[in-house]
Amino acid sequence: MKVRKAVIIAAGWGTRFLPMTRTQPKEMLPLVDKPLIQYAVEEAINSGIEQIIMVTAIAKRAIEDYFEPSFELENFLQKKGQTRLLKKMRELSNMADITYIRQKEQLGLGHAVLTARGLVGNEPFAVILPDDIIDARKPALKQLIEVFEPRQGSILAVERVAPADLNKYGIIKAGRISGGVARVLGLVEKPEPAQAPSDLGVVGRYILTPAIFDAIAQTPPGRNEEIQLTDAIALLLADESVYAHLFKGIRYDTGFPLGLLKANVSMALKNPDMRTELREYLKTVLKNETI
């Protein structure tokens, strides 16, 4: 079957960004010149996804408004003759077919995925965590879909993780890696380094078969008392083959202030309109710092 739907998970509280996230969804924080959520939507579209399901929560209205047309603003820009901006605003609201659903209680990532069950139905689907920004020539999700197509089994995006960071990720036990793909033999959520079965950490892109929903429904709360997607995938392994893909690209964890700042600097240095001035500015800052 083809992967037609992507579920973008944006219901977490974003406590690491408090106090900003009291009134502002973390997914609306800026990365260079766009909010984080727009990168997730664009990656889905550029990967051939036809329908986007966004799992949100209370205090996330700004996300829904962002992708809606604003006729008042469009009229204003038209009157002012700001045609380039007007075109940009129209492209934004026509960008994708997005359906929203709310996770009523923040019971964990696994629970957030389960919230989308009715909208996904009985077909394989993609999951995107918008905190993980992946800068790649071929969109990371598209890479995963290409790995899924001949195998028709769940695919997890993985990357190598430094020893000190193993306890921040779901870590897989992997079979032999061939062409960047390995069978997943087991997985553990946020292990202590000594208990980690490998250095391959799961990052925020997945292709999942619909069997994951029953697995999540059977998953008890795990780490932090949350229903963990990793634990549900570990259950799924008993019935289905699951694969890991070492995708090509640079991933930025924008889920905490310093990570977002680093992503901003790196991505802005790639932006032709900003690169030269930013480089000069950074040099000056570093020079003054050492004085």
Query: First CA to last CA across the chain, in angstroms?
Result: 61
9 binds ligand UTP (CB under 6 A): yes
157 binds ligand UTP (CB under 6 A): no
Interaction pattern, residues 210-249, with ligand UTP; x per rule: CB under 6 A:
----------------------------------------
112 binds ligand UTP (CB under 6 A): yes
CB-based burial, 23-41: b 16+ in 10 Å, e otherwise = ebbbbbbebbeebbbbbbb
Interface with ligand UTP (CB under 6 A), residue total: 19
Q: Residue 20 to residues 60, 95, 112, 215: CA-CA distances in angstroms?
A: 13, 27, 22, 35
16 binds ligand UTP (CB under 6 A): yes
Cβ 166 to ligand UTP shortest distance, Å = 16
Distance CA 252, CA 266 (A): 9
What is residue 245's DSSP assignment? E
Go through the chain and tell me how many residues it has: 291
Of 100-108, 169-177, 193-201, 273-281, the segment contacting ligand UTP by CB under 6 A is 100-108
- Among all chains, which residue has been given the structure tokens 């197509």? 149
107 binds ligand UTP (CB under 6 A): yes
131 binds ligand UTP (CB under 6 A): yes
Of 107-115, 118-126, 195-203, 209-217, the segment contacting ligand UTP by CB under 6 A is 107-115
Q: Nearer to ligand UTP by C-beta: 13 or 100?
A: 13
Distance CA 256, CA 260 (A): 6
189 binds ligand UTP (CB under 6 A): no
Residue 244 β-bridge partners: 156, 182
Cβ 152 to ligand UTP shortest distance, Å = 26
Q: Nearer to ligand UTP by C-beta: 57 or 244?
A: 57
Distance CA 119, CA 97 (A): 13
Cα atoms in the 13 Å half-sphere on the side-chain side of 197: 14
Token pair of 59, please? 């205090």
Residues 6+ apart with CB under 8 A from 114: 213, 216, 217, 227
44 binds ligand UTP (CB under 6 A): no
Query: Using N-to-C axis directions, what is the helix angle for 275-290 and 257-269, rounded to 10°?
Result: 130
Q: Nearer to ligand UTP by C-beta: 224 or 288?
A: 224
Of 32-40, 70-78, 99-107, 233-241, the segment contacting ligand UTP by CB under 6 A is 99-107
Binding ligand UTP (rule: CB under 6 A), the pick from 15, 23, 178, 290 is 15
Binding ligand UTP (rule: CB under 6 A), the pick from 47, 103, 154, 230 is 103
25 binds ligand UTP (CB under 6 A): no
Residues forming the site for ligand UTP (CB under 6 A): 9-16, 55, 103, 106-109, 111-112, 129, 131, 255
